Amino acid sequence: MSIDYDKFVDAKGLKCPQPLLLAKHGIDQIKAGQVLLLEATDSHTDLDLDVWCERFGHTIIDCKDSNGVFSFWIKKSI
Strand spans (E) along the chain: 7-11, 35-40, 59-66, 69-75
- Active-site residues, by number, are 16
Q: Which residues contact 3 (CB under 8 A, 6 or more apart)?
A: 35, 37, 61, 62, 73
Q: Distance between CA 68 and CA 29 in Å, rounded?
A: 27
